[in-house]
């Protein structure tokens, strides 16, 4: 949807804007926390801002108040709702960190050892995006897939 454009210039010749994503865990039990780290690298001085968004996949949900950008806390930002990033004020490399939480039933969340629930895992795939304007076009940079196995 963001890649449709009618440009007078060749958008493919524009410098790259890249986005990569990592997580500190690859397997979660219900109620476990996961930290996502996203790095946006802007190699085009003409790209001054973008809109960052991450659609966390259920059963992982965003934990409010956990967003940091370049080490500074932004407690009102929510990556699942999207927010602006400004390369002029934040620099050409922006590091975004936030925490998600895996949800399950209450038995598993209290880690009861006699509970027979939550012994199966399913993969949950997440990726981040950055919408930005470059060479007269709206473009969408998509991160790599980050796959986490979540117990249910």
pTM of the complete model: 0.81
Strand partners, 41: 18, 93
- CA dihedral (100, 105, 107, 108) in degrees, to 10, reads -40
Tokens, residue 131: 């919408």
Strand partners, 35: 99
pLDDT tens, position by position, 94-132: 999 999 999 865 555 555 555 555 567 788 899 999 988
Rounded to 5 degrees, what are φ and ψ at 18? -115, 150
Q: Which of 120, 124, 141 is nearest to 52 (CA)?
A: 141
Gap between the Cα atoms of 146 and 27, Å rounded: 11
**Which residues neighbour 81 within 8 Å (Cβ) at sequence distance 6 or greater?**
53
**Residue 74 and residue 81 in contact, taking contact as beta carbons nearer than 8 Å:** no
Give percent of the chain with pLDDT exceeding 90: 46
């Amino acid at each position: 949807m963001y890649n449709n454009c009618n440009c007078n210039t060749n958008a493919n010749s524009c410098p790259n804007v890249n986005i990569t994503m990592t997580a500190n865990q690859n397997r979660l039990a219900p109620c476990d926390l996961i930290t996502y780290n996203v790095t946006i690298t802007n190699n085009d001085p003409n790209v001054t801002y973008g809109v960052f968004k991450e659609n966390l996949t259920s059963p992982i949900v965003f934990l409010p108040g956990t967003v940091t950008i370049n080490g500074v806390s932004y407690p009102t930002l929510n990556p699942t709702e999207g927010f602006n990033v400004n390369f002029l004020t934040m620099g050409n490399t922006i590091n975004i960190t936030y925490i998600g939480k895996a949800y399950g039933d209450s038995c598993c969340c209290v880690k009861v050892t006699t509970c027979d629930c939550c012994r199966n895992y399913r993969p949950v795939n997440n990726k981040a995006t950055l919408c930005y304007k470059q060479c007269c076009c709206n473009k969408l940079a998509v991160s790599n897939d980050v796959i986490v196995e979540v117990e249910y």
